[in-house]
Amino acid sequence: MSILPARRDGHWIFVSLAEQLAEIADPASDKFDPDFFLPVSRLPDEELDAKGKRDLWVAETFAYFGIPDSARESAEDLGLVAVEYRLKDNERAAFHRLLEPAGLSLLDADGVLQTLFAFMRHRKAFTLPKGRVDPHALAFGRITADIGFVLRREGIRNTEGWLPRKNNDGSYRHNFITDYLRRLLGLSPEQTLSLAEGIWDFLTDRSLAVVVQDKRNWKLDHERLFVTKPA
């Protein structure tokens, strides 16, 4: 991030950050850095125009902050930058009321919500800028599907379930959402499931942090994702 000009608010939405990186990699730019380039594996066989080259960086940025890779440690992993989902004060306050009975402060509740958003983002459950990024772009590697969230997966392809599947006897095995809430708040299995479903209803009813696709497939809005300095 030190190679980028500082923003007044210290925030970069993904597309803006990608365009700045593309400029640094462009030999025709006065910001050109010859040591800054995309891996050859990301480049298509055909020659690209200027927009096509910028769009490669857009895909790279979305993949870098959206697809975890055990073979690398990203700037986010190392704590050099943070990725947050932009929220209004009234949205934060409304979510805090959901967790207030557990004794969480407004700041703690905001951290919980940002963590839940990160779970979604790391599963590629975000919109892509139209005409800029294909979900099958080489930057996404093996994760080529267009992924969204549903309440329970129940056999729906290319989706992640917010709640875990229930067994025939009503029992269930925690998924990443419910396991996080259980460990954080020390809730019983029934309380955990009830809170997780309440959070899902809160997000979808308000269209707070997800946008609807075909009325059932929910994703983060990429225009509300930004990179910033860590707190």
Q: What is the pLDDT of residue 1?
A: 42
Q: What is the pLDDT of residue 153?
A: 87
Assign residue 87 a region (left: φ > 0; alpha: ψ between -120 and 50; beta: otherwise). Answer: beta
Q: What is the pLDDT of residue 165?
A: 87
Q: What is the pLDDT of residue 52?
A: 92
Task: Locate the domains of the chain by residue range.
Answer: 11-228
Mean pLDDT split into 10-residue runs, the chain, 231 residues: 49 92 94 92 88 94 86 86 93 94 94 95 93 91 90 87 86 92 94 94 84 77 92 77
pTM here is 0.89
- Report the 10 Å Cβ neighbour count for 142: 6
Do 159 and 150 meet the contact criterion of CB atoms below 8 Å apart?
yes
